[in-house]
Amino acid sequence: MLTDEQVFSEQMATRRGLGVATQLAMTGDDWLSERDKKNQAKAEAKRRAAGIACSKKLEAAVDSLNEYLRSCNECQDGSGNHRTGHGDGRIVLISNMMEYASYLDGKYSK
């Protein structure tokens, strides 16, 4: 039993008078012009620079959040993470930001 997609593709091939379907899109490295290759290289370089900058800013944000959490703990008025421990949203946020910063750093700081 043929699927609807297979039936449609056979109908299109028959309608064109061809035994096989033709290529509908120009894709792959063979079809890229020099300008396209340059634009792609520029976009990748821009992404790399943005990744490195994001990693540094995430590390700075983690330092700032750690300092804030330390200050909250020193107040001893319940605003710290004494009761919640590792379930505190600030600690989870710090962990996630550090994980992503190290991912970006590992990927783009070569």
**3 state SS of 84:** coil
Within a domain: 110? yes
Q: CA distances (Å), 67 to each of 14, 72, 77, in order? A: 70, 9, 17
Query: What pLDDT is stored for residue 29 in this prediction?
Result: 63
Residues 11-58 pLDDT 10s: 665 555 555 555 566 666 667 788 888 999 999 999 999 999 999 999
Query: How many folded domains does the chain comprise?
Result: 1
Measured CA angle at 55 (ends 49, 61), to 5 deg: 135
pTM of the model: 0.65
Domain containing residue 85: 38-110
Within a domain: 19? no
Within a domain: 9? no
Residues 74-102 pLDDT 10s: 988 888 887 777 778 899 999 999 999 99
Within a domain: 49? yes
Query: What pLDDT is stored for residue 2 in this prediction?
Result: 64
